[in-house]
């Protein structure tokens, strides 16, 4: 198993990606074709930035990637179509994002506690926050691909995603470790606000304050 990890790690170095995660997004895109030229994309949980590298190349200079993470992302070497926001995704509003998105990507992961059930519950909460955010910032017809740790509430999350999007399905790229509980839920065709009955109250106050950084 270590050999598989080393393979993706070495390949990322050779290909100039900041992390091996790049191959997960490339695999998702090869399977579902979610990234297109000219798109405006939100990359949630983007540090150190390999998904941003992949997405910014595909959308091209007419597109835009807004990359958000709790940790600062090094802007060096990133193209001009990337905007960086340092902060908690759950606290950012449409105005701060600068408009609606065609696609939301999320490789967001909580700091793991080592207790699988607790980690899965936190991960599902982050995904519910993304579904809530979709209603605020995603264009009708837009897509969402998000990482989740599979656990007790995975099926409920998938059901909620199916309610909000025309299609939603789980997918595990080969570059994701087989023993890892991580899965991706890929959703296409956002139906619009009225289709989500669930209220999850995952958004947290307040909007951008002085502690927020934007750049890139």
Ligand X SMILES: C[S@@+](CC[C@H](N)C(=O)[O-])C[C@H]1O[C@@H](n2cnc3c(N)ncnc32)[C@H](O)[C@@H]1O
The binding site for ligand X (CB under 6 A) comprises: 18-19, 21-22, 45-51, 68-71, 88-90, 107-110
Identity of the residue, 48 or 189, whose beta carbon is nearer to ligand X in the bound complex = 48
Residue 125, Cβ neighbours under 10 Å: how many? Answer: 15
Please confirm, yes or no, whether 80 is among the known catalytic residues: no
For residues 87-101, one letter each, b for 16 or more C-beta atoms within 10 angstroms of the residue's C-beta and e for the rest, the string is bebbbbeeebbeeeb
Cis peptide before 166 (omega within 30 of 0): no
Identity of the residue, 84 or 187, whose beta carbon is nearer to ligand X in the bound complex = 84
- 69 in helix, strand or coil? strand
Which of 147, 172, 191, 194 is labelled catalytic?
Answer: 147
- Cβ atoms of residues 147 and 107 within 8 Å: yes
For residue 166, the minimal CB distance to ligand X (Å) is 25
Identity of the residue, 89 or 183, whose beta carbon is nearer to ligand X in the bound complex = 89
For residue 194, the minimal CB distance to ligand X (Å) is 27
Cβ-closest residue to ligand X? 45
CA distance 211 to 96: 14
Identity of the residue, 15 or 167, whose beta carbon is nearer to ligand X in the bound complex = 15
For residue 101, the minimal CB distance to ligand X (Å) is 15
CA nearest neighbour of 204 among 84, 58, 89, 67? 89
For residue 54, the minimal CB distance to ligand X (Å) is 8
CA distance 5 to 74: 24
Identity of the residue, 50 or 128, whose beta carbon is nearer to ligand X in the bound complex = 50
77 burial type by CB count under 10 A (0-12 exposed, 13-18 middle, 19+ buried): exposed
For residue 204, the minimal CB distance to ligand X (Å) is 9
Q: What is the DSSP letter of 76?
A: T
**Among all residues, which ones are annotated catalytic?**
147
């Amino acid at each position: 198993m270590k050999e598989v990890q080393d393979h993706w790690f070495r390949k990322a170095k050779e290909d100039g990606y900041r992390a091996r995660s790049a191959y997960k997004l490339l695999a998702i895109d090869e399977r579902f074709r979610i990234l297109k030229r000219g798109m405006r994309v939100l990359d949630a949980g983007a540090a150190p930035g390999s998904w941003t590298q992949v997405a910014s190349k595909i959308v091209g200079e007419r597109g835009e990637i807004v990359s958000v993470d709790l940790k600062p992302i090094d802007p060096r070497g990133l193209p001009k179509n990337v905007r960086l926001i340092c902060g908690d995704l759950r606290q950012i509003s449409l105005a701060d994002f600068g408009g609606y998105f065609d696609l939301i990507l999320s490789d967001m992961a909580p700091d793991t506690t080592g207790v699988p059930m607790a980690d899965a519950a936190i991960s599902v909460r982050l995904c519910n926050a993304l579904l809530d955010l979709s209603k605020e910032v995603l264009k009708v017809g837009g897509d969402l691909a998000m990482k989740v740790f599979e656990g007790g509430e995975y099926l409920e999350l998938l059901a909620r995603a199916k309610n909000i999007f025309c299609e939603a399905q789980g997918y595990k790229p080969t570059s994701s470790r087989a023993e890892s509980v991580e899965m991706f839920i890929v959703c296409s065709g956002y139906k619009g606000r009225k289709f989500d009955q669930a209220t999850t109250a995952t958004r947290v106050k307040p909007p951008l304050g002085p502690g927020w950084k934007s750049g890139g």
